[in-house]
Amino acid sequence: MVICARTGAAGVHRHGRFPQKRRGCELANLLANIFGKSPVKPLEKHVGIAFRCTKQLNGFFRAVVAGKWDKAAEIRDAIAALEHEADDLKKEIRMHLPKSLFMPVPRQDLLELLLVQDKMANRTKDVSGVVMGRKLQIPKPIAKEFLTFVSRNVDAAKQARKSVRELDELFATGFRGAEVSMVESLIDELDKIETETDDLQASLRGSLFEIEDTLDPVTVIFLYQVIELTGEIADMAERVGRRLELLLSH
Amino acid sequence: MEEQVVYVVLAAIFGVFMAWGIGANDVANAMATSVGAKALTIRQAIFVAATFEFLGAVLAGGEVTSTIRKGIIDASLLSGTPETLIYGMLASLLAAGTWLLVASRNGWPVSTTHSIVGAIVGFAAVGVGIDAVHWGKVGTIVMSWVVSPLMAGFIAYLVFQSVQVLILRREDPLARAKRYVPVYIFLAAFTITLMTILKGLKHVGLTISVANAYLLATSIALLISLIGAFAIRRIEPDPKLEKKQHFYSVERVFAVLMIVTACSMAFAHGSNDVANAIGPLAAVIGIARTGLVGATSTIPIWVLALGGGGIVVGLATYGRRVIATVGHKITQLTPSRGFAAELAAATTIVIASGTGIPVSTTHTLVGAVLGVGLARGIEAIDLRVVGRIFVSWVVTIPAGALLAIVFFYVFKATLP
C-alpha cells in the first residue's frame, strides 16, 4: 500500500503512463468516485449567462433607436460573446452527464431545461444579428413601445433565472415541501410576465401596421420578424418555467 | 522455543504492516465523509480517527478477530501439526498484503476484508484440505458482504427520509433542526454504545447484564446528546452566508451531529477492520504460547492494542493525505447527508462486529451513500462505481486465495 505521489491517495502511481487518468490512485477514491459531477450549479451558472446575454438587448435597442451604430455594434459583439460562452457551458454540462448518472430527477429533463435556457441566448443573438446586419431603423412612432416590449422580454428572462436559481434548494429538499411552493409562485410570476409580453407584442404589431404604409416594405417585413424573434425570448423563458415544473412533478 | 519467537515476530511484522495499510487507506474513507462535509478539519479528523479507531479495536474488535483467527478454519484437523496453521496464517497475511499492493498499483478498489478472508480460505482448502474450511461460516461471511451494503443503504434511506420530512421540507428548517438533531445524536450514540457493551466488552473482561447495558447506553447517549444540544443552541443564523447558501445554518447544526457520527464511524471501522491485521497474528501467538491448536484463551489486549496502534500510525503517516484528497472530492455530501450515511454504515458495521462478521467498511459506506441517493439526497451519483465493486469482489477472493497457497508452500519449505 503505497501512497500516490500526485494526489496523496493510497496506491502506486505508474509514473508517466496515464498521468491524466491517475489510474493508480483509484483505490482510495472508491468513495470519491461514487459522486458524479453535479449539474446543479453549472445549470444555475448557465441561466445566469443566458440572462446576461438577453439583458444586453435593452442597451442594444436604445443605441439603435438613437442611431448610435458604433455603440450598437459594440453591444452586439458582447451579445455574441455571451451566447458563445453559454454554448460552451452547455456542451460542458452535457459532457458531464453520462447515462450512468443517478439523480433525483430524470437526466433528460435537466438536459431539456438546459436546452431552453440556451435558446434564450440564441434568440437574443438572432435578433441583434438581423438588426445589425440590415442596420434596421426602429421607426420613431413605435420606438418607445418597442423598447418597453424588449425590456419586458428581458424581465421574463430575469424571472427565468430567478426560478432556475432555486434549483440547488430544490435538490437540497428532494423536490418536496415548502421550497416547491416557493418555486411554483416564481413560475406563476414568470407566466404573468410572458402573457404581458404577448399583449405588448400584439399592440406593437398593431402600431406597426398603422404606420407600415409610410415605410419601405422590406424594412416592414424585417421589423415584423424582429418583433417575432424578440417575443420568442419570453416564450423560451416561459418554457424554462414549464421544464422546471416538470422537475417539480417528479 | 526459538522458532516460536521467529513465528511471533514475523506475524507481528506482517500484522502491523497490514494495520498500517488499513490506517493509511481504509480509514480515509471512513473519515473523509466528515472532512468533505466540513464538519471536521483534517487535524480534528485525525484526532477523532486515532482515538476512536483505537477504542473500537480494543473494546469491540474481539469478535471479528476470533472469527478470522479460528472461525474460518476447522482447527481440530490441525491438532497434530500446529505449525501448519502458523505457516498458513503467515501466508494469509502476506498474501492479503501483496494483493492489496498489486490492486492499488492497478487502481482496483479491493477490500482488505475480502483479501484476508480469501487468503485464509485458500490456504486452508488447498494446504490442509477442503474439509478444513468451515464452509457454513464462510457462506455467512460472503452473504454479509451482500447484506451489509444493502442494510446500510436501507437505514440511510430511512434516516435521510426522516430528515427531509421532519426538517428540510418545512418552513422553519433551522428551528426544526435545532429541535430534532439532539434526538439523532442520541440515536447514534445509543446504538454504538449499546452494541459495544452488549457484544464487545467481554473481550476486555467486563461482563454487564443486559438490563444494565441498556441503562448504561441510555445514560451515555443522553449525556452526549445534552452536550450536542448545548453546542447547537449557540448556533445563530448568519444572514450573509444564508443568502449564498440557503441551508447554511441548518447544515451547521447537522455538522455538530456529524462529529458524533464520525466518532461512531471510526469506532465501527476499528472494531471490524483491526481483525484483518491481527486475527492471523492472534492465531500464531495462541499456538506459539501454548503449542496447541484451538486454544480457547482470549485474545491478549496488547495484540488488539498493537493493531489499533498500527492503524493510528498508518493514519498519521499517510492517511491524512488520503483524507484530504477524498474529502475534497465528496463535497456533495453535506452534513445533513453525510451524517445519515455515516450513521447507517457505522450501525451496520458495529452490528457485524458484534456478531463476529468481517465486512468491508468502504463497501458498506458506499451502500449507505446510495441509500441517501435513493432518498433523493444526492445531486449526482455515478453508478459505474457499483459495477466496479462487483468486479473487484469476483477477482479479489480467488487472487487472495491463490497467493496464500503459494506463500503457504514457500513457508512450509523454508521456515523451521
d(CA B361, CA B349): 7
Query: By CA distance, what is A170's nearest residue in B?
Result: B169
| pLDDT for position A19 | 37
Q: Give the model confidence (pLDDT) of A143-180 as tens digits.
A: 999 999 999 999 999 999 999 999 988 888 888 888 89
Would you place residue A132 in the very low, low, confident or very high pLDDT band (cuts 50, 70, 90)? very high
| pLDDT for position B248 | 83
Would you place residue A25 in the very low, low, confident or very high pLDDT band (cuts 50, 70, 90)? very low
- For A141: left if phi > 0, alpha if psi spans -120 to 50, otherwise beta; the answer is alpha
Q: Which of A11, A26, A38 sits opposite B379 (nearest CB)?
A: A38
| pLDDT for position A12 | 37
Say if B33 is an interface residue toward chain A (CB within 8 Å). yes
Backbone angles phi, psi at B293, to 5 degrees: -90, 140
Say if B333 is an interface residue toward chain A (CB within 8 Å). yes
| Residues in chain A within 8 Å Cβ distance of B246 | 168-169, 172
| pLDDT for position B105 | 67
Average pLDDT over residues B137-145: 91
Is residue B293 within 8 Å of residue B78, measured between CB atoms? yes
Reported ipTM: the value is: 0.77
Q: Which of B171, B321, B385 sits opposite A178 (nearest CB)?
A: B171
Say if B198 is an interface residue toward chain A (CB within 8 Å). no
> Which one-letter amino acid corresponds to residue A170?
L
Q: Which of A102, A169, A177 sits opposite B373 (nearest CB)?
A: A102
| pLDDT for position A111 | 94
Is residue B20 within 8 Å of residue B311, measured between CB atoms? yes
d(CA A109, CA A167): 13
Q: Which of B106, B247, B321 sits opposite A172 (nearest CB)?
A: B247
Q: Which residues contact B358 (CB under 8 A, 6 or more apart)?
A: B64, B67, B68, B113, B116, B117, B141, B272, B275, B276, B352
| pLDDT for position B49 | 87
Task: Give the count of Cβ contacts less than 8 A between chain A and B.
Answer: 168
Grouping H, G, I as helix, E, B as strand and the rest as coil, residue A27 is helix
State yes or no: pLDDT of A186 exceeds 80. Answer: yes
CATH of segment(s) A38-248: 1.20.58.220
Do A24 and B106 make contact, defined as CB atoms within 8 angstroms? yes
Do A34 and B385 make contact, defined as CB atoms within 8 angstroms? yes
| pLDDT for position B414 | 85
d(CA A189, CA A194): 9
Q: Give the model confidence (pLDDT) of B65-118 as tens digits.
A: 888 888 888 877 777 778 888 889 999 999 998 887 777 666 676 788 999 999
Say if B410 is an interface residue toward chain A (CB within 8 Å). no
Would you place residue A198 in the very low, low, confident or very high pLDDT band (cuts 50, 70, 90)? very high
Q: Give the model confidence (pLDDT) of B387-397 as tens digits.
A: 877 777 788 88
Share of chain B above pLDDT 90, in %: 31
Residue B203 carries which DSSP code?
G
Grouping H, G, I as helix, E, B as strand and the rest as coil, residue A35 is strand
| pLDDT for position A10 | 40
State yes or no: pLDDT of A105 exceeds 60. Answer: yes
- In terms of residue numbers, what domain contains B191? 2-414
Beta bridge partners of residue A101, listed in sequence order: B382
Would you place residue B298 in the very low, low, confident or very high pLDDT band (cuts 50, 70, 90)? low
| pLDDT for position B244 | 59
State yes or no: pLDDT of A22 exceeds 70. Answer: no
Q: Give the model confidence (pLDDT) of B164-207 as tens digits.
A: 999 988 888 888 999 999 999 999 999 888 888 887 666 666 77
Q: Give the model confidence (pLDDT) of A224-234 as tens digits.
A: 999 999 999 99
Grouping H, G, I as helix, E, B as strand and the rest as coil, residue B60 is helix
State yes or no: pLDDT of A16 exceeds 80. Answer: no
Total structural domains within chain B:
1
Give span(s): CATH 1.20.58.220, chain A. Answer: 38-248
Q: Give the model confidence (pLDDT) of B148-157 as tens digits.
A: 999 999 999 9
Q: Give the model confidence (pLDDT) of B252-294 as tens digits.
A: 899 999 999 999 999 999 889 888 888 888 888 888 777 666 5
Tell me what the pLDDT averaged over chain A comes to: 87
State yes or no: pLDDT of A24 exceeds 50. Answer: no
Grouping H, G, I as helix, E, B as strand and the rest as coil, residue B133 is strand
Tell me what the pLDDT averaged over chain B comes to: 86
Q: Which of A24, A101, A178 sits opposite B380 (nearest CB)?
A: A101
| Alpha-carbon gap: B213 to the closest alpha carbon of chain A (Å) | 34
Query: By CA distance, what is A9's nearest residue in B?
Result: B322
Of the candidate ranges A136-140, A200-204, B87-91, B308-312, the one whose mean pLDDT is the lowest:
B308-312
